[in-house]
Structure 1
Amino acid sequence: MNDPGLHEPAQDAAQDVEKNTHKEDEEAIREERTFLDPSRYWFASTACPLIAGTFGPIANAFSICALVEKWRIYIPPGADEGHGEKVEDPKWLIAVNSVSLVFALAANISLLLNMTRRLSFAIAQPITIVGWFMASFLLIALASVASTSIFRIQPTSEHALSQAFYYGIIAAALYFIIASLMIFTVVGAYQGHYPKEFRLTSSQRTLMLQTISFMFYLLVGALVFCKVENWNYLDAVYWADFTLLTVGVGGEYVPKTHTGRSLLFFYAIGGIIMVGLVIGSVRSLVLERGKEKMSARFTELKRQKVLRSVNHDKQTIKLGLFEKTSFANEGLDESQRREQEFRVMRRLQHKAETKRRYTALAISSTAALLLWLLGALVFMHSEKPQGWSYFVSLYFAYTSLLTIGYGDYTLSSNAGKAFFVFWSLLAVPTLTILISNMGDTVIKAFRDLTIWIGSLTVLPGEHGIGSTLRIGMERLRHGKLYNPKEEDKEGQTIGASEQAIINRLEDHIEEDELEEAEEAGEHGDYLERDIHFYHYILAKELGKLTKDIHASPPRQYTYQEWNYYLRLLGQDENDTTLHRKPKAHQNRRKGDKPDLGTADDGVNSRWSWLGIRSPLMGTQNEAQWLLQRMSLTLERELQKQRSPHAKKEPPPISMADLRRKKGSSSSESDGNRELRENVGAAEMRRRGVNDSV
């Protein structure tokens, strides 16, 4: 019978280790599921609520504009509809318009409370969806009636509909769109594709708050200036919009009083700052979520296509339309095969990222082009009384989108002014995303070309013009991501890889914090010495990874660095029992699912560099992947160390192994002479220290 006093601590230690193992397994499964989920789940779970939370306040602002002004105007002889006289609305229109705004505000408040977790998903979403649909239907009904002869005063040549009518139409369309998007979110949540809650990041929440603040600032500023300058309120809204967005279309709407001009100093700078904050948030969202998700999906699609292209007869693998490379599984040892997979995967990564960048540029360019062309089409029809052609409308839309604003053409119709406010607000995220994508592609290529031309002319590099030309030709031949120096590093022999590990360990040996390990070695307890040494190195490497985790662009490690880190994690690249090859397409039986490298054995998860569990795949960057697993490894090791009854096992690295590797390096080629000299110098610096190996 076991003594409970000894049995329970050992059992607790075993349970702690098992708990960490399950934690690592669950985290890996969660990452894999997140990566493999189709993009529509991310769109439904995150993008739809974000769009609704951002455009909801804009729609509310337009509803207010539709309520505060009359919907009909009388046009005096010799005037245009922009200078008409207001005609009183029937009370039923004001009542229905007010009810619509109440429904919309309730829907928006319900969504915000749900996002801040003040209201449950099951209660908030029906209120949000029904509220926006009701607001939309009521405004659509009003606009339909207002367009008929029942509402409009005859003759129509002397009467027109005001800006408020058109703001009501825009608000109705926005309510209908965002309510429909929220239906996708609710359906996906109840089907179990994602949790029934919104897990928005701080930048996503910030964007919604900034949008609300900007619209409030615009409407309040318009109210102040309409009183100071004696403008109609909706004309003041139009003025505030093109002022805060720095379009400056000119015309008659400019401050003419000393009070108005004085207030403009503060109002304009405050609005420009708020617009800048919104632009920064939009760009952050594109880089934070959209770019990450697109990159992950493109990499996965490219990986599956490459695996299907393996030709075992010719021992090749197809990486692109005109690019093949050797890919042989026979005649190579485990480490050589793993390094081959790593190099293929790294090249695959680069090609997928290039495709992602140019696809994003194509999508954003198309969106901006449609905004320009369709906007010009609307302006052409709205400004028919001025005789605008489509070319003139294109010219006006172009100068407005780029915030040039010459002022030689100005809007005079009520429809054109109302549409301009919505169109210009829509241009802010559209052009922000386009410029961000151009920065990753066209602007970056132009910058690199400028630097390269400069190195050939006025700013030659340290290696001379000839070397610069040669490197430039290599980049043109292999693509801008190609780096000959990195290829040389990855082409090192396995012996050099082992030596790189030794050099990393040598850096740690010189530290004073290894006294416990040395003391244990002096007493002959070599296992305890190696365990202390292993724990110390894990802690030091965690500090280095923490610095890499925020690097921009994300840090990409060489194969030798990965070899070192994986050994620390107990996943030695030379150990054939820890990894497995991905099945080639030709070797799979009909009906088999593609091998995605799913792990099935807990801590020492078996994966391939070309598998879905590869550290080069997924939504985490390489430093995050290593930091997470190294933290769990250190936590697991310290838990075993704290328990006196836990079984002690030799760590994956040891001082004895270091000494043995260093001694065997004397038979290596002259190419490693510098590495051996560094080891010898380190030995001289440590002279007098007994490591008791």
Structure 2
Amino acid sequence: MGVSEESDYNYYSLRLLPMAAGILAPICILLSIPPLTGDWMSNSLNDQVIDLTPTQFSQDTTIPWLLRVGLICLFLAHISLLLRFLERHVVWNTWISIVGYFLNTCLTISAIVYFSTRYTIPSDEHFSGEYYSTYASSALSFIICLLLIIDYFRHNRLRGKGSGLSRNQRILVFMFILVTMWSVVGAIVMGTFEGWTFTRGIYFSLVTMTTIGFGDFAPTSAAAQGFNIFFTSIGIIMIGMLIAFIRSVILESFQAAYSARVAKIGALGLDNFYTLTVQTFSRSTKSRQPSTIVNEKVTNIPTIQDQERELKNAQVSQYIRQLNFSAFSLFLFWFLGAAIFCWLEGWDYFTAFYFCFISFTTIGYGDITVKLFASVVVFCVYSLIGLVTMAYFISVATELFSTLIERHSDRIENKHRNKSKLYSKEPSSSSGSKSTDPERDIELLKSLEINTGNEQRDLLLKLLTMTEFYHEEMTHLFKSTQADIADDDREAQLNAHHLEKMKKYENIYTQLINLCNSKLKDDSTSTISEIEEPPSIRLVKTIISESEKNLIHQNSSKIENED
């Protein structure tokens, strides 16, 4: 297997299909239990969940047995899926899950077909919510099976691909399963104490754990109230942890995209990001004249600050896109839910939308609640999905606004820092500067030549030192001129002064290179007097800081000490 093939088999390849299957699996279990606990036919007077009592097929046990075997296959498939997420025999557990979900689908559909052929619906009755739950359960089970099959064949039969979940994604799936299972425990126990159906118990558990608290169902016995204290305390903690891990997974995806962009920029190489004025020196003649300097103008001169700014802008743009998508998903979720409850409960659309808003913002006044069984089932599934949607929107909005506030704070801090540097500058005499600046250029050249003699190695060392110094100054110049301070006149003057200073450094650098060329051509050339002095540089009428005055002398002293 070649290197390119091995790179394709990343063991921790993260994928969306396994996580979607892991989240849908507990919902499928919730939808598979009501058909075993309620009647499949009801009349218009017995269609509310409050009036339903658990009944079984007393005369024909074929349907209950088909559903029970299907539920067992569903549990086995779910356990195998959990083992796959734990990286335990990924391929084998994947196939066990696929077979289990497929068998559950076949057995549930068989129960539906058997019921349709053996039972006749009276004119005054209709199919109940439990009956339609079988359709939802079989459809969801088939979707999970299909997701696992697609993931299996799309990714080289999972060779070297792992479970498809990161650590945070794995914990998120486990927390979603725990929340679902805890709701089942609450439904069973509260149903035992209060005589509720399983569906009503699930409804009560989810309304309680999400702190919506409609108040339409409440425990009445002391035993139920005591258990509710214990159940609610743990349930609220689980919901909080679920929301926290939803946020962690979202941030992880953002960080992965950010890291990928950083790696992409890094892979382009320095030549694509650092381009300066290229100087080529002609050595075709043996003349002692300064070498010909050819300036090649290069466009696009991004610096490290450009890269950082580009990455930050890309990160903010990604947050904005995710915020737009999450806001769209949230409002679509509300509007679509309002249409569903408007159709099921017979409400007007505004009332249904108001119910969705009050419910999924966890306000829960209790003035409007669902009554019909179908509405209760839809609300139970809808609340779990709504929890994820709301957490997604809040997480993205929080990260976006915190990033914007941080960027604004950094910008203000940098502006104040630049102003403090500007105000700390002391004006200097223009006459003194006019006489000393050219002399300082020559002094730097002389200091670079001291104790050099005819030794080419020492002179080249000086050249390398000056090259490093020149590179640092140019980097500082680009960072300063590209700062976001264009609106400040004082800062603009400071940038102009930096540019003028760099012209001086360039002349010094040119003279040093000419000196090196002269020494390489003729070892007898060792005095600075034979080198043409740099041209006079026009002084700018700006404030020059004391630190900038001493910068060249400090660099010269440092070079002498090293020698």
Decide whether aligned partners of structure 1 residues 443 and 488 sit closer, same or farther in structure 2, where only a CA change above 3 A counts: closer
For the residue of structure 2 that corresponds to 1:404, the secondary structure is: coil
CA distance in 2, matches of 1:439, 1:150: 56
- How far the C-alpha of 1:399 sits from its partner, in A, is 0.6
Decide whether aligned partners of structure 1 residues 182 and 160 sit closer, same or farther in structure 2, where only a CA change above 3 A counts: closer
Q: Is the 8 A contact 1:97 1:139 kept in 2?
A: yes
Q: Is the 8 A contact 2:38 2:52 kept in 1?
A: no
Question: 1:249 pairs with 214, 222, 237, which one?
Answer: 214
Aligned to 1:365: 327
CA distance in 2, matches of 1:430, 1:351: 26
Q: Is the 8 A contact 1:298 1:353 kept in 2?
A: no
CA distance in 2, matches of 1:227, 1:65: 15
Q: What letter is aligned with 1:108?
A: H
Decide whether aligned partners of structure 1 residues 354 and 692 sit closer, same or farther in structure 2, where only a CA change above 3 A counts: closer
Question: 1:93 pairs with 63, 75, 98, which one?
Answer: 63
For the residue of structure 2 that corresponds to 1:340, the secondary structure is: coil
Aligned-CA RMSD value: 4.6
CA distance in 1, matches of 2:153, 2:225: 52
Aligned to 1:232: 197
Task: State whether structure 2 residue 535 is matched by structure 1 residue 671.
Answer: no
Task: State whether structure 2 residue 255 is matched by structure 1 residue 284.
Answer: no
Question: 2:362 pairs with 403, 406, 409, which one?
Answer: 403
- How far the C-alpha of 1:159 sits from its partner, in A, is 4.5
Aligned to 1:266: 230
Question: 2:99 pairs with 116, 130, 135, which one?
Answer: 130
- How far the C-alpha of 1:80 sits from its partner, in A, is 4.7
Task: State whether structure 2 residue 124 is matched by structure 1 residue 153.
Answer: no
Which shows bigger deviation, 419-428 or 260-269? Answer: 260-269
Aligned to 1:434: 393
Decide whether aligned partners of structure 1 residues 44 and 427 sit closer, same or farther in structure 2, where only a CA change above 3 A counts: farther
CA distance in 2, matches of 1:171, 1:43: 31
Q: What letter is aligned with 1:250?
A: G
Q: What letter is aligned with 2:73?
A: F
Count of aligned residue pairs for this structure pair = 419
Task: Describe how 1:288-687 pairs up with structure 2 within 5 A.
Answer: 288=252, 290-296=253-259, 329-331=276-278, 340-384=302-346, 388-442=347-401, 485=414, 670-672=546-548
Aligned to 2:160: 195
- How far the C-alpha of 1:69 sits from its partner, in A, is 3.2
Decide whether aligned partners of structure 1 residues 340 and 44 sit closer, same or farther in structure 2, where only a CA change above 3 A counts: closer
CA distance in 1, matches of 2:397, 2:63: 47
1:330-386 CA-partner distances (Å, limit 9, x unpaired): 44799x9997343332232122112101011111112212211111111111113xx
- How far the C-alpha of 1:436 sits from its partner, in A, is 0.5
- How far the C-alpha of 1:444 sits from its partner, in A, is 6.1
Decide whether aligned partners of structure 1 residues 42 and 675 sit closer, same or farther in structure 2, where only a CA change above 3 A counts: farther
Task: Describe how 1:178-217 pairs up with structure 2 within 5 A.
Answer: 178-190=144-156, 195-198=160-163, 200-217=165-182
Decide whether aligned partners of structure 1 residues 72 and 88 sit closer, same or farther in structure 2, where only a CA change above 3 A counts: farther
CA distance in 1, matches of 2:54, 2:80: 36
CA distance in 2, matches of 1:304, 1:205: 31
Q: Is the 8 A contact 1:246 1:403 kept in 2?
A: yes
Aligned to 2:32: 63
CA distance in 1, matches of 2:149, 2:550: 65
Aligned to 2:291: none
Q: TM-score, normalised by structure 1?
A: 0.52
Which shows bigger deviation, 183-192 or 225-234? Answer: 183-192
Q: What letter is aligned with 1:94?
A: P
CA distance in 2, matches of 1:84, 1:111: 34
Aligned to 2:484: none
For the residue of structure 1 that corresponds to 2:371, the secondary structure is: coil
Q: Is the 8 A contact 1:250 1:410 kept in 2?
A: no
CA distance in 2, matches of 1:399, 1:144: 40
- How far the C-alpha of 1:481 sits from its partner, in A, is 7.5
Unaligned runs of 5+ in 2: 281-295, 422-467, 473-543
For the residue of structure 1 that corresponds to 2:155, the secondary structure is: helix
1:505-527 CA-partner distances (Å, limit 9, x unpaired): xxxxxxxxxxxxxxxxxxxxxxx
1:595-615 CA-partner distances (Å, limit 9, x unpaired): xxxxxxxxxxxxxxxxxxxxx
CA distance in 1, matches of 2:119, 2:265: 59
- How far the C-alpha of 1:440 sits from its partner, in A, is 2.0
CA distance in 2, matches of 1:50, 1:240: 24
Q: What letter is aligned with 2:94?
A: Q
Which shows bigger deviation, 262-271 or 179-188? Answer: 179-188
Q: What letter is aligned with 1:182?
A: L
Q: TM-score, normalised by structure 2?
A: 0.63
CA distance in 1, matches of 2:549, 2:109: 81
CA distance in 2, matches of 1:486, 1:183: 57
Decide whether aligned partners of structure 1 residues 188 and 130 sit closer, same or farther in structure 2, where only a CA change above 3 A counts: same
Task: State whether structure 2 residue 141 is matched by structure 1 residue 175.
Answer: yes
Aligned to 2:501: none
Q: What letter is aligned with 1:236?
A: G
- How far the C-alpha of 1:51 sits from its partner, in A, is 2.4
Task: State whether structure 2 residue 77 is matched by structure 1 residue 114.
Answer: no
1:195-237 CA-partner distances (Å, limit 9, x unpaired): 2322644323322322222222211111111121222222112
CA distance in 1, matches of 2:111, 2:550: 83
CA distance in 1, matches of 2:121, 2:34: 22
1:389-418 CA-partner distances (Å, limit 9, x unpaired): 111111111111101111111111111001
- How far the C-alpha of 1:430 sits from its partner, in A, is 1.2
Q: Is the 8 A contact 1:206 1:281 kept in 2?
A: yes
Q: What letter is aligned with 1:210?
A: M
For the residue of structure 2 that corresponds to 1:231, the secondary structure is: coil
Task: State whether structure 2 residue 51 is matched by structure 1 residue 83.
Answer: yes
Aligned to 2:290: none
CA distance in 1, matches of 2:263, 2:139: 37
Decide whether aligned partners of structure 1 residues 411 and 150 sit closer, same or farther in structure 2, where only a CA change above 3 A counts: farther
- Identity percentage of aligned residues: 24
Question: 1:52 pairs with 7, 11, 21, which one?
Answer: 21
Q: What letter is aligned with 2:258?
A: S
Q: Is the 8 A contact 1:221 1:240 kept in 2?
A: yes
CA distance in 2, matches of 1:692, 1:261: 82
Decide whether aligned partners of structure 1 residues 200 and 304 sit closer, same or farther in structure 2, where only a CA change above 3 A counts: closer
Decide whether aligned partners of structure 1 residues 364 and 352 sit closer, same or farther in structure 2, where only a CA change above 3 A counts: same
Aligned to 2:426: none
Decide whether aligned partners of structure 1 residues 484 and 407 sit closer, same or farther in structure 2, where only a CA change above 3 A counts: closer
Decide whether aligned partners of structure 1 residues 76 and 371 sit closer, same or farther in structure 2, where only a CA change above 3 A counts: closer
For the residue of structure 2 that corresponds to 1:73, the secondary structure is: strand
CA distance in 1, matches of 2:399, 2:5: 30
CA distance in 2, matches of 1:152, 1:438: 54
For the residue of structure 2 that corresponds to 1:441, the secondary structure is: helix
CA distance in 2, matches of 1:487, 1:145: 79
CA distance in 1, matches of 2:279, 2:133: 70
Q: What letter is aligned with 1:170?
A: A
Task: State whether structure 2 residue 151 is matched by structure 1 residue 275.
Answer: no
Q: What letter is aligned with 1:403?
A: T
Structure with more relative contact order (C-alpha pairs < 8 Å, separation 6 or more): 1
